Chains A and B, each alone.
Chain A
Amino acid sequence: MNITKSNKLSNKLFKQNIDVEPIRVGFGRGLLEAGKKNSKVVALCADLTESTHMLPFKEAYPDRFIEMGVAEQNLVTVASGLSAVGKIPFATSYAGFSPGRNWEQIRTTICLNERNVKIVGSHAGLSVGPDGATHQMLEDIALMRVLPNMTVIVPADSYEAHKATMALANKKSPAYIRLAREGTAVVTTADSPFSIGKAQVLCSGDDISIIACGPMVYEALKAALVLKHYSVSAEVINCSTIKPLDTETITASVKKTRRVITVEEAQSIGGLGGAISELVSSRFPVPVVRLGVQDRFGQSGEVVQLWEEYAIDEKSIVKYARELVKKVKQR
């Protein structure tokens, strides 16, 4: 497998003892560091301070932490007002509630109003597990991606969440960052490059491009390893910035492989799959198989069960990749 060296991925990749940490923990560390570097960074939370990992920030900077109570519409609009007087607010809740409940406020008072507000949606995706469909936010990527002026980031692991949080604090624009609750394999390292708008080719290949985001990046990498045994050379791309999309990196990969699979823990309608399909259909039309939740709601269960049921786990990626390679001749 051609792991791209410049990405400085974990040396425990594919090993049993790979570090596992919830992505949201990285956000908590990033927020603390961003707050240390810039006194304009403020944090708002809607009654979920501990589980969104904002406690370290709250303890370090109590005067810059605002408890909003269970009121997500007020959460983002107060953040808009704080931004109007020069603050850099991180408005945090579970993705199901924010941006699930307050989309119009985000549209009008943040995006159209061009306010420098960061919306942080934790506990997104199927991996919330036992909490069930109400709390498994699957539509957030689509909801945020269609908004003009909005940046959308889905970090692959806790390191990337840390870096993305820091980067967003320095970028003057509305942004949405999506976090998962469960422990996620730590694929990258402190030294891995990250910049907003840049997708990373984690391993290069010639037969198929597997483009993934969030916790699915590790599933894609594991799938690529298995595919190698079937003589399929897969290129794995970590597309952590869904908007603005890294059209250059993705188009270059697609032109080479002519076969695309997208993998996400979200509705593939409008999600990463939607974004990639829009790009591919206009730049270099080739078949795209979109793995993600297919126009259904989630349900209670363990993460592995859910990823299998909704066909986004390593095994599913291998299966659909092999089918695609068989079906579509490259030249």
Chain B
Amino acid sequence: MTIKDLELKADVIRQDILKMLTHAGSGHTAGPLGMADIFTALYFDGLLNYKPNRPDWPKRDRLVLSNGHINPVLYVTMAHAGYFPHAELKTLRKFGTRLQGHPERVRLPGIETTSGPLGSGISQAAGMAYGMQMDGEKLQHVVCVTSDGEHQEGNTWEAIMFAGKYRLRNLMVIVDRNNIQIDGYTEDVMPLEPLSMKYQAFNWHVIEIDGHDFEQISGAYNQAKAIFEKPTVIIAHTIAGKGVDFMEFDYRWHGTPPGKTNIAGDPPPRDQLRVAIHELRTLQGKIKSEHEK
């Protein structure tokens, strides 16, 4: 895909995220919107090796979603990639669904780990990477997507220490550095900086990128694959709520879907989805939406 096509794909994914969350009536909004570009790149820019019709294909790269609560972006991207019918997105969080409120591996083929409780994704990804190295075959890559807030968990640092010791070169961590968490800004709740120096001190290769720049995303991914002596972390600076002006940078949109909450200065709940979709369709006013043609 060209960068233009990737941007359009990410835009449609964001619209689907908002629609499915509104339909579900609960769930997380800001994180999924912020990570839509990275997930688009992983699945549609040729970064991950995968076969949607064979989710258990042994040669696939493994995508481990550590911060399970941003699963709307994973579900929507997987639907677009062909893992399951697009219409199933409407079942998010409903009784009997494969699209559980937090991702469950056993229910939905293509999900690599069950997650939600924070801080154990890097460990599992490290275990996978280590196991692949034991078999000594041509290595697949294990990509762990994690949040910045998760770096307040002790388990996260145990895993970072472990991967550094064993030089897990086929392990790549992508940190969604959006600076927000439920109680506020990360640096107010429990400061993480200097995050890149912390990773360096644990013997990791560190790359920092703009998480909304497709050239930087694929560049960092390919660099990480080329680093042979240690694991790589890509600290992706992202904007929580990216693409919808009234949600961007606002931690109050972390855990609520459109249409549920009155937030001062934002559109009233009944208008939130419509305004957000309109903004996305016009790429924040840069193009005319199809309704205005």
Q: Which of B90-139 contact A (CB under 8 A)?
A: 104-106, 112-117, 119-120, 123-132, 134-135
Q: Give the A-B contact count at a CB cut-off of 8 A.
A: 100
Shortest B250–chain A CB gap in Å is 29
Q: Are A78 and B132 touching (Cβ within 8 A)?
A: no
Known A109-B114, A113-B114; contact A82-B128, beta-carbon cutoff 8 A: yes
Q: Which of A66-100 contact B (CB under 8 A)?
A: 66, 68-69, 71, 73-74, 77-87, 89
Q: Which of A18-71 contact B (CB under 8 A)?
A: 42, 63-64, 66, 68-69, 71
Q: Are A82 and B127 touching (Cβ within 8 A)?
A: yes
User: Which residues on the B side are within 8 Å of A66 (C-beta)?
Assistant: 130
Q: Are B158 and A63 touching (Cβ within 8 A)?
A: no
Residues of B contacting A: mostly: helix
CA A83 to CA B105, docked complex, whole Å: 13
Shortest B237–chain A CB gap in Å is 27
Shortest B68–chain A CB gap in Å is 9
Query: In this assembly, does B161 line the interface, its C-beta being within 8 Å of a C-beta of chain A?
Result: yes
Q: Are B132 and A109 touching (Cβ within 8 A)?
A: no
Query: In this assembly, does B155 line the interface, its C-beta being within 8 Å of a C-beta of chain A?
Result: yes
Contact of A42 among B105, B117, B134, B162 (CB under 8 A): B134
Residue of B nearest to A78 (CB): B127
- Give the contact-size bracket for chain A: 20 to 34
Q: Are A109 and B120 touching (Cβ within 8 A)?
A: yes
Query: In this assembly, does A105 line the interface, its C-beta being within 8 Å of a C-beta of chain B?
Result: yes
Q: Are B128 and A77 touching (Cβ within 8 A)?
A: no
Query: In this assembly, does B242 line the interface, its C-beta being within 8 Å of a C-beta of chain A?
Result: no
Q: Are A81 and B131 touching (Cβ within 8 A)?
A: yes
User: Which residues on the A side are within 8 Å of B41 (C-beta)?
Assistant: none
Residue of A nearest to B166 (CB): A66
Q: Are B106 and A84 touching (Cβ within 8 A)?
A: no
Residue of A nearest to B128 (CB): A81
Shortest A49–chain B CB gap in Å is 16
User: Which residues on the B side are within 8 Å of A79 (C-beta)?
Assistant: 127
Q: Are B105 and A77 touching (Cβ within 8 A)?
A: no
Q: Which of A266-313 contact B (CB under 8 A)?
A: none
Known A63-B134, A113-B105; contact A81-B125, beta-carbon cutoff 8 A: yes
CA A118 to CA B154, docked complex, whole Å: 23
CA A113 to CA B155, docked complex, whole Å: 18
Known A84-B113, A114-B106; contact A77-B134, beta-carbon cutoff 8 A: no
Shortest B130–chain A CB gap in Å is 7
Shortest A47–chain B CB gap in Å is 12
Query: In this assembly, does B62 line the interface, its C-beta being within 8 Å of a C-beta of chain A?
Result: yes
Q: Are A108 and B117 touching (Cβ within 8 A)?
A: yes
Shortest B109–chain A CB gap in Å is 13
Query: In this assembly, does A252 line the interface, its C-beta being within 8 Å of a C-beta of chain B?
Result: no
Q: Are A87 and B124 touching (Cβ within 8 A)?
A: no
Q: Are A81 and B162 touching (Cβ within 8 A)?
A: no
CA A108 to CA B66, docked complex, whole Å: 12
CA A104 to CA B118, docked complex, whole Å: 10
Interfacial residues, chain A to chain B (CB-CB below 8 A)? 42, 63-64, 66, 68-69, 71, 73-74, 77-87, 89, 104-105, 108-109, 112-114
